[in-house]
C-alpha cells in the first residue's frame, strides 16, 4: 500500500523549485497532456501504460518523484505501482494539474 507523501499545491511548488533532481511524472492520458497543458519538464507515462513502461524510470528508484494527474486519484494509484516496484521517494500532488492551473504560478506549466 502506498505510504509516502500526499502533498498540496504549495508543497508541490516548493518541491519543484527546490529540488533539481526531482522527476515530475504526469500519468494523465496523452489527450489530456496535449489539450490541457502540462508541468514544464514533466515526463508523460499514462497510468494505463505505467506498469509496462516502468523501465523508462530506471535510475530513479531512490530519487524524488512528484506524480500528478488531473485531480489526484490516478497519481495515487501510480504511486502505489511505483512503490510496489521499488521506488522509494514518492510525492502525490493532491488536487492535480487542475488545482495547479487554478492556484499555482503560470510559469510552472505549458499549454
- The CATH number for 71's domain is 3.40.250.10
Residue at 99 is within a domain:
yes
Where does residue 48 rank: exposed (0-12), middle (13-18), buried (19+ CB within 10 A)?
exposed
Query: 3 falls in which pLDDT band (50, 70, 90)?
Result: low
Residue at 98 is within a domain:
yes
Tally of structural domains, the chain: 1
Residue whose C-alpha cell is 527546490: 18
Query: 105 falls in which pLDDT band (50, 70, 90)?
Result: very high
Query: 111 falls in which pLDDT band (50, 70, 90)?
Result: confident
DSSP state of 96: H
- Residue 90 near residue 79 (C-beta atoms within 8 A): yes
Structural domain span for residue 13? 5-106
Looking at residue 36, what is its pLDDT?
96
Per the DSSP assignment, residues forming a β-bridge with 90 are 65
- Residue 68 near residue 38 (C-beta atoms within 8 A): no
Convert the pLDDT of each residue in 20-77 to its tens digit.
999 999 999 999 999 999 999 999 999 999 999 999 999 999 999 999 999 999 999 9
Residue at 59 is within a domain:
yes
Looking at residue 4, what is its pLDDT?
63
- Residue 22 near residue 80 (C-beta atoms within 8 A): no
Residue at 111 is within a domain:
no
Convert the pLDDT of each residue in 37-53 to its tens digit.
999 999 999 999 999 99
Amino acid at each position: 500500500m502506498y505510504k509516502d507523501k500526499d502533498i498540496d499545491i504549495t508543497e508541490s511548488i516548493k518541491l519543484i523549485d527546490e529540488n533539481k533532481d526531482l522527476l515530475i511524472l504526469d500519468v494523465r492520458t496523452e489527450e489530456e497532456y496535449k489539450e490541457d497543458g502540462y508541468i514544464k519538464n514533466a515526463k508523460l507515462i499514462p497510468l494505463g501504460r505505467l506498469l509496462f513502461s516502468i523501465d523508462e524510470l530506471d535510475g530513479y528508484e531512490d530519487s524524488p518523484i512528484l506524480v500528478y494527474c488531473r485531480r489526484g486519484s490516478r497519481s495515487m494509484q501510480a504511486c502505489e505501482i511505483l512503490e510496489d516496484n521499488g521506488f522509494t521517494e514518492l510525492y502525490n500532488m493532491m488536487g492535480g494539474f487542475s488545482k495547479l492551473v487554478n492556484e499555482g504560478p503560470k510559469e510552472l506549466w505549458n499549454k
